[in-house]
Structure 1
Amino acid sequence: MLPSRFVSAVEGCDAAVMGRSHALSGAVVWLGGCALAAGLGARPAVGAVVVGAAVTAGGALLPDVDHPGSVVARSLGPLTRLIARGAAAGAAALRTASCGCCAGRGGHRAVTHTFVFAVTAGLLVSLLCWVGGDVAAAVVAGMAAALAVRGVLRRRTRGAYGAAGSGLLVGLMAAALPGPVAGWWWVGLPLGLGCLVHSLGDALTFSRVPLLWPIRIRGCRWAPLGMWAPLRFRTGSAAELLLVVPALMLLGVISAWTLITP
Structure 2
Amino acid sequence: MMASSHIIVGGATWFYVSTRFGVAFDVVAFGAAIVGSLAPDIDHPKSTLGQLLRPLSSWISRVFGHRGVTHSALAIAGCLWVLHEYTAYSRLLIPFIVGYLTHLGGDLLTPAGLPLLWPIKRRRNFALPILKTGGFSEQLAVTLLAGWMISGLFAGGWPEFPLQRPWRSVVAAAQSYLGEAGPDKSMPPPPARKPPDSSRPKPLKG
TM-score by length of 1: 0.52
Question: What is the aligned partner in structure 1 of residue 125 from structure 2?
Answer: 224
Describe the SS at the equivalent of 1:26.
Answer: helix
Of 135, 154, 171, which aligns to 1:257? Answer: 154
Question: Are residues 222 and 29 of structure 1, via their aligned partners in 2, closer, same or farther at CA, if it must alter by over 3 Å?
Answer: farther
CA distance in 1, matches of 2:98, 2:32: 9
Question: Are residues 221 and 67 of structure 1, via their aligned partners in 2, closer, same or farther at CA, if it must alter by over 3 Å?
Answer: closer
Alignment map for 1:23-172 (pairs within 5 Å): 23-37=7-21, 43-47=22-26, 50-75=27-52, 80-91=53-64, 107-121=65-79, 123-124=81-82, 130=88
**How many aligned residue pairs are there?**
157
Structure with higher helix content: 1
Greater Rg over alpha carbons, structure: 2
Aligned identity (percent) is: 27
C-alpha contact 2:79 2:97 (8 A) present in aligned 1: yes
CA distance in 1, matches of 2:101, 2:122: 18
Aligned amino acid, residue 201 of structure 1: G
C-alpha contact 1:34 1:259 (8 A) present in aligned 2: no
C-alpha contact 2:13 2:146 (8 A) present in aligned 1: no
State the shift of 1:56 in Å.
1.5
State the shift of 1:118 in Å.
3.0
C-alpha contact 1:34 1:44 (8 A) present in aligned 2: yes
Question: What is the aligned partner in structure 1 of residue 3 from structure 2?
Answer: 19
Question: What is the aligned partner in structure 2 of residue 246 from structure 1?
Answer: 143
Question: What is the aligned partner in structure 2 of residue 160 from structure 1?
Answer: none
State the shift of 1:234 in Å.
1.8
State the shift of 1:31 in Å.
1.7
Question: What is the aligned partner in structure 2 of residue 162 from structure 1?
Answer: none
CA distance in 2, matches of 1:256, 1:72: 29
C-alpha contact 1:119 1:192 (8 A) present in aligned 2: no
CA distance in 1, matches of 2:156, 2:108: 30
CA distance in 2, matches of 1:22, 1:57: 8
Of 227, 231, 235, which aligns to 2:133? Answer: 235
Describe the SS at the equivalent of 2:112.
Answer: coil
C-alpha contact 2:40 2:70 (8 A) present in aligned 1: yes
C-alpha contact 1:66 1:108 (8 A) present in aligned 2: yes
Q: For each residue in 1:45-67, what CA deviation from the matched residue of structure 2 results, as whole angstroms up to 9, or x when unmatched?
A: 333xx443321121010110111
Taking CA–CA contacts closer than 8 Å with sequence separation of 6 or more, which of the two structures ends up with the larger relative contact order?
1
Aligned amino acid, residue 57 of structure 1: I
CA distance in 2, matches of 1:112, 1:25: 19
| Unaligned stretches of 5+ residues in structure 2 | 158-206
| Unaligned stretches of 5+ residues in structure 1 | 1-13, 38-42, 92-106, 131-183
Describe the SS at the equivalent of 2:118.
Answer: coil
Question: What is the aligned partner in structure 1 of residue 160 from structure 2?
Answer: none
C-alpha contact 1:61 1:71 (8 A) present in aligned 2: yes
Describe the SS at the equivalent of 1:61.
Answer: helix
C-alpha contact 1:126 1:187 (8 A) present in aligned 2: no
Q: For each residue in 1:201-236, what CA deviation from the matched residue of structure 2 results, as whole angstroms up to 9, or x when unmatched?
A: 11111111112435x5xxx35420111x4xx22211
Question: What is the aligned partner in structure 1 of residue 111 from structure 2?
Answer: 206
Question: Are residues 251 and 54 of structure 1, via their aligned partners in 2, closer, same or farther at CA, if it must alter by over 3 Å?
Answer: farther
